[in-house]
């Protein structure tokens, strides 16, 4: 297994998304998913303080709490890399220095740990000077509470601005960026943040790498999305062009002996720069659909086919 360097951390080439934990996966199911991911060598888990505040009865932090309980009960903290985020939780909004400091303490408590491996600004906050945000994150790194900094949902220009401010002031420079990117959502990333991420040598960790489940191949008609908890947002993909793409992906998947989802992840890993896709599952039985995506290599012809099909989408 070839691991990827993330700020010097040697991580599995696929990041497990903790978004379903406390939402579509209860604590017991989440533990089973985490156990299975760890068993195949997975060591990078992504979450956020806002996961999963949208579920009725939740207040946010449920995913962090489950991950923290799992690491403590399994005694795997030293071999597990955890990424979490600040800015979107209603009770801890934005990127002011005071909010970052308090939100970090909340996340540390829920994660049952004294350090966070990768701490993201979950979204840009233009109401706060970027220097204030960068210095606040740097303070956490200097205090040993955070190992590395990441940015999420930042434009290319704002990524560059943050890196410049941090570099000029001797503060912690981001090592990773998490933006929306997959084989059916290409244009914005590839013309904006993607080239900047690659130029600056940052690691890209795309979210929605499976397009809300569309790139698993399970949606073959509009009717297939009816009643699915996680199908919000797939409607725009349920077109003739979208289904032609899935047909092409299925043929490639068959030649590799894997599922369609793994082809979507392998495509992301092949993009310019260093890319570690984020993918989540709600059941242990879904893990085998994505794990091969961490290792398989697509041929030039296969990449050309996918690029052509996705460009007509």
CATH number, position 49? 3.20.20.100
Q: What angle do the packed helices 300-311 and 260-269 form, to 10 degrees?
A: 100
- Is residue 151, in this structure, part of any structural domain at all? yes
Rounded to two decimals, the pTM is 0.96
Q: Which residue has the tokens 């955890």?
A: 82
CA 306/CA 283 separation, integer angstroms: 28
- Is residue 77, in this structure, part of any structural domain at all? yes
- Is residue 202, in this structure, part of any structural domain at all? no
The answer to whether the beta carbons of residues 256 and 296 sit under 8 Å apart is yes
- Is residue 97, in this structure, part of any structural domain at all? yes
Catalytic residues: 51
- Is residue 296, in this structure, part of any structural domain at all? no
Phi and psi angles of residue 146, each rounded to the nearest 5 degrees, phi first: -135, 135
- Is residue 293, in this structure, part of any structural domain at all? no
Q: How many domains does the chain have?
A: 1
pLDDT in tens, the chain (313 residues): 689 999 999 999 999 999 999 999 999 999 999 999 999 999 999 999 999 999 999 999 999 999 999 999 999 999 999 999 999 999 999 999 999 999 999 999 999 999 999 999 999 999 999 999 999 999 999 999 999 999 999 999 999 999 999 999 999 999 999 999 999 999 999 999 999 999 999 999 999 999 999 999 998 776 666 566 555 678 889 999 999 999 999 999 999 999 999 999 999 999 999 999 999 999 999 999 999 999 999 999 999 999 999 987 7
Range of the domain at 126: 8-178
- Buried b / exposed e along 284-297 (16+ C-beta atoms within 10 A): bebbebbbbbbbbe
- Is residue 228, in this structure, part of any structural domain at all? no
- Is residue 36, in this structure, part of any structural domain at all? yes
Q: From the centroid of its chain, how far is CA 94?
A: 20
The answer to whether the beta carbons of residues 186 and 310 sit under 8 Å apart is yes
Q: What angle do CA 191, 195, 198 make, to 5 degrees?
A: 155
């Amino acid at each position: 297994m070839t691991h990827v360097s993330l700020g010097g951390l040697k991580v599995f080439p696929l990041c497990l998304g903790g978004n379903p934990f406390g939402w579509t996966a209860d604590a017991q199911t989440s533990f089973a998913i985490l156990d299975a991911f760890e068993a195949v060598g997975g060591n990078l888990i992504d979450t956020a303080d806002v996961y999963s505040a949208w579920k009725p009865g939740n207040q946010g932090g449920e995913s962090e709490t489950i991950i923290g309980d799992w690491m403590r009960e399994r005694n795997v903290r030293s071999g597990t890399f955890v990424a979490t985020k600040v800015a979107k939780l209603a009770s801890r909004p934005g990127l002011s220095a005071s909010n970052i400091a308090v939100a970090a303490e909340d996340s540390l408590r829920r994660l049952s740990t004294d350090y966070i491996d990768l701490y993201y600004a979950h979204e840009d906050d233009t109401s706060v000077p970027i220097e204030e945000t960068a210095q606040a994150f740097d303070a956490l790194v200097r205090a040993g509470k955070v190992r590395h900094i990441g940015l999420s949902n930042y434009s290319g220009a704002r990524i560059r601005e943050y890196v410049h401010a941090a570099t000029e002031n001797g503060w912690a420079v981001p090592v990773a960026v998490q933006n929306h990117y997959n084989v059916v959502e290409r244009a914005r990333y590839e013309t904006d943040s993607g080239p900047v991420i690659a130029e600056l040598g940052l690691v890209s960790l795309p979210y929605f790498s499976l397009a809300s489940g569309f790139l698993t191949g399970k949606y073959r008609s509009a009717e297939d999305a009816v009643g699915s908890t996680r199908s919000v947002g797939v409607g725009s993909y349920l077109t003739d062009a979208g289904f032609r793409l899935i047909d092409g992906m299925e043929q490639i998947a068959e030649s590799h002996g894997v599922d369609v989802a793994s082809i979507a992840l392998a495509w992301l890993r092949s993009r310019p720069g260093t890319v570690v896709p984020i993918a989540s599952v709600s059941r242990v039985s879904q893990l085998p659909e994505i794990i091969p995506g961490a290792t398989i290599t697509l041929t030039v012809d296969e990449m050309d086919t996918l690029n052509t099909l996705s460009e007509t989408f």
